[in-house]
Amino acid sequence: MVTLAARPQALDIDLDRAALVVVDMQNAFASKGGMLDLAGFDISGAAHVIEVNRRLIQAARKARLKVVYLQMSFKSDLSDAGGPASPNYHKELALRTMRDRPELAGRLLIDGTWDWQIVDALMPEPGDHVVRKTRYSGFCRTDLEGHLLASNIRYLLFTGIATNVCVESTARDAFFSEFWPILVEDAMSHAGPDFNRAATLWNFEHVFGWVTSADHILTALPRDTAPAVPA
């Protein structure tokens, strides 16, 4: 067990039963010309988040922490996206944007496209587990829960994009499934106004889990696995 500095209080975690969950660090959400950028969202903070994630992932692998990637994705025929009777059809940004801008049809979060790909700096490596998902939560219609249980994982360190959408959705479901959700606040980026980020962090500090920083995680890992996080 190690003690991880966090809010609202420090948390004792078993690193052998912990996983780093990297949520949707894809070109769609983090790169110029990706879906969020095309939709007019501010992605200026993504470069810093990518670098923080790169260092965390590198340290996690060296410490033999399980690294799990979530990847939002739809089939080219959209057969797994939900039709007009599904709320996902009406609310999911890629689906809405492709309908509103026909020139983008088949380009946003579609299997095999550039938009769908995890950013080059954070590509999964052998031994990492990649979970394809078609809804905001990584627990919805996926093998995530079964994989974590089979790996005897209980503590989940969340990073990624967007803090207030896919990260929050997945971390809430983690809480309901008896995992311990811990948000790494400086390894995430939000969509929309800053109060979205603040609300998510408040929810997890006071209701659903814990909030920590990349520095705190690196401090808790074995000393030779902890590269410095950029300012």
Q: Which residues are catalytic?
A: 24, 133, 166
Which of these, 162, 153, 164, lies nearest to 208 by C-alpha position? 164
Question: To 10 degrees, the CA torsion angle through 136, 156, 41, 108?
Answer: -50
β pairing state of 66-72 and 18-23:
parallel
- Rounded to 5 degrees, φ, ψ at 153 are -95, 140
Q: Which amino acid is located at 22 in the chain? A: V
Contact 223, 193 (CB under 8 A): no
164-176 residues labelled b (16+ CB within 10 A) or e (exposed) = bbbbbbbbbbbee
Cα–Cα distance, 120 to 117 (Å, whole number):
8
